[in-house]
Amino acid sequence: MFTIPVLDIKSDPLDALLAVVGYRLSMLADSDNEDVKALFADRNVTIEFASTESDIARSFRFDNGQFSQQSGHAKAADLTITFKDSMTGVKLLTKGSLPAFMTAVQEGKLSIEGDYSLMMWFNKLAKHIVPAVPEECKPYLQKAKPYAYKAQKFAEHWVGFAKHKLGK
């Protein structure tokens, strides 16, 4: 695995996703959206997302309306969400379902330590991370899905091939 130094993002899918989420949260922190401002106000917390298998960690710091992120483990996180592996983290985060998180906890796919109420708060904030897709674009997205699936399978094949050839 390598790190893109300027952005401080590892080539791991979970770290890349979390970095993008962090950049979006920084945009939201600077926005004029009153709902988002209300969620950010009076919060002084750190939330860490990590993966045990790939030793990936990224923390998000919310400080009274300000937002920052850092690669690596937080010194003191108020909530730590640790996925068993990166792909589990990516699947659960992109699903965006709190019940899916709870099911994953029961199945041992992730662990949560700290203030559980922050899960509910972050879930409210997460609804603002992905902007709504305009209705006129939805048919195009539906048409693109099979091609995205084929591209994913193609990439998985070649990553597997490369790992086999490199002995990893």
CATH of the domain at 120: 3.30.1050.10
pLDDT at 134: 65
Q: Verify that 80 and 159 share a domain, yes or no.
A: no
Residue 85: strand, helix, or coil: coil
pTM given for the model: 0.73
One domain, residues 109 and 90: yes
Judge if 123 and 92 occupy the same domain. yes
- Is residue 165 domain-shared with residue 119, that is, in the same domain? no
Specify whether 20 is located in the same domain as 77.
yes
- Predicted pLDDT at 8: 63
Number of structural domains in the chain: 2
Q: Which candidate, 3, 21, 151, 145, places its Cα nearest to that of 94?
A: 21
Tokens 């990439």 -> residue = 155
- Per-residue model confidence (pLDDT) at position 98: 80
Same domain, residue pair 119 and 152: no
**Together in a domain, 139 and 150:** yes
Q: Which residues on neighbouring strands pair with residue 44, listed in sequence order?
A: 63
Is 124 in the same domain as 150? no
pLDDT at 48: 95
Whether the Cβ atoms of residue 57 and residue 49 lie closer than 8 Å to each other = yes
Indicate whether 85 and 160 sit together in one domain: no
Per-residue pLDDT of the chain (168 residues; tens, 9 = 90+): 444 444 566 667 888 888 888 988 998 998 888 988 999 888 999 999 999 887 889 999 999 889 999 988 999 999 999 999 888 888 888 887 788 888 999 999 999 999 989 988 988 888 888 766 567 777 877 787 787 777 777 777 777 777 777 775
The pLDDT value recorded for residue 2 is 44
Cα distance between residue 85 and residue 109, in whole Å: 8
| 149 and 97 share one domain | no
In the block, tokens 């662990």 appear at: 111
Range of 127's domain? 3-131
Looking at the structure, do residues 91 and 157 belong to the same domain, yes or no? no
Q: Are residues 60 and 125 in the same domain?
A: yes
What is the pairing mode between strands 9-10 and 3-4? antiparallel
Is residue 163 within a helix (H) or strand (E), and if so which, with residue range? helix 138-166
pLDDT at 3: 47
Give pairs for 22-26: CB < 8 Å, separation 24+.
22/58, 22/60, 22/67, 22/69, 23/69, 24/129, 24/130, 25/60, 25/67, 25/69, 25/125, 25/129, 26/67, 26/68, 26/69
